[in-house]
Amino acid sequence: MTAYGRPDHGGGPRVLTEFSLPSEPGNERRVADDVAGAVESLGLAPDRMERLKTAVAEATMNAMEHGNGYRPEVPVVVEVISSGRELLIRITDLGGSPVPVPDPEVPDLSAKLEGLQTPRGWGLFLIQNMVDEMNITGDRDHHTVELVMHLEEGSKGGEDASQVSGS
Amino acid sequence: MPAKYLEAEVRREAGVAVIELRGEIDAFAEEALAVAYEEAEAGNPETILLDFEGVDYINSTGIALIVGLLAKARAAKKRLVACNLSDHYVEIFNITRLSDFMGVYPDRISALSEASTP
C-alpha cells in the first residue's frame, strides 16, 4: 500500500484531476479517456498508456456494475494523483455492496471452453495484469480500487521527481 | 464519448468465413457477434476468421464473448482465428491465453494463407 501523505523525493502528491460520472454503461471509456488526457504530460510509454486505459475502464465498469448497480444517480468518483515516482488512480463507488475481493485463481480458459467455468470473470484479472499494483479498500458505504503505475526513468513524471530531488 | 456499437459483416474468401468487425466489443456487441457467427457458420466453413481491423476497444465482457465463440467453434470442430488485432489486444489475447487456442495473425492475408493450409 502506498503512503500518500508522505512527500516523495521532496515533491508531495499532486492531484492531476478529480471528477465523477453517473453509473451508466459505456461511461468507462469516457473515464479511461479523461484519465489518459490528465496524465498525458507524464509521458507514459504508449504501451503503458494503453494498459492504464484498460485497467481504468475495467475498474470503472466494476464500480458502476458491482458497486453502484448501474444506478445513474449513484456516481463513480475518480481521482488521479501523481506522487513523482508513482501515478495513482483511485476509483470509488458508493453502492454499499460487499467489497470485491480479487480471485486468487487465474481464470482457466480451458475450463471456460469446456463449460466448467463461466466465460466471464476477466475484469480483475485484466486489471492486475495491466498495472503495477492494485489495492482495494472500503467500508459499508463505499469501495475504492486504487491502480498504481510506477513512473519509469524515461517518463516525465520520473524526471520531475529527479529534478525535485536534486534541487 | 458516444459508444460505437459493433457492426459485423460476413464475407467468404478462399473457403474461409471472414467476420469483419467494426466498433467496440463490449456487452452491447453480444447480439451482433452472435448473428454474424451464425451466418458465418451457415456455410459450414472449416475456418472462421475474426478480422479486428475496425475494432478499437475490447473489454472483459468482450473477451468473454470471444471465449463463447471459441467454445462454439471448438464444439463444431471448426477453427476460429483472428487477425488485425492491435499490439495491446495481442498482449491481452496472450495474457488471457486466447492465443493458445486460436491462431492470431497480423493481417488477413497471412490468416487466409494459414487457413488454406491443411
CA distance A69 to A23: 8
C-alpha cell at A5: 501523505
Q: Answer yes or no: do A109 and B60 touch at CB < 8 A.
A: no
Q: Does B64 touch chain A (CB under 8 A)?
A: yes
In this prediction, residues B15-22 reach a mean pLDDT of 96
**HSE-up of residue A22 (Cα within 13 Å, Cβ side):** 6
Which ipTM did the prediction report?
0.90
CA distance B111 to B76: 20
Q: Answer yes or no: do A58 and B70 touch at CB < 8 A.
A: no
So what's the pLDDT on residue A156?
54
Which residues, including other chains, have CB under 8 Å from residue A30's CB and lie 6 or more apart?
A: A21, B1
Q: For B71-99, write each residue's pLDDT tens digit.
A: 999 999 999 999 999 999 999 999 999 99
Q: What's the gap in Å between the CA of B71 and the closest CA on chain A?
A: 5
Q: What stretch of H or E contains A163?
A: helix A156-166
Residues of B in Cβ contact (< 8 Å) with A30: 1
Q: Answer yes or no: do A109 and B100 touch at CB < 8 A.
A: yes
Q: For A75-109, write each residue's pLDDT tens digit.
A: 999 999 998 899 999 999 987 766 556 565 679 99
In this prediction, residues A26-44 reach a mean pLDDT of 95
Residues of A in Cβ contact (< 8 Å) with B91: 47, 51
CB pairs under 8 A between A and B: 68
Q: Does B87 touch chain A (CB under 8 A)?
A: yes
Whether the per-residue pLDDT at A166 is higher than 50: the answer is no
**HSE-up of residue B49 (Cα within 13 Å, Cβ side):** 27
For B98, the 3-state DSSP assignment is helix
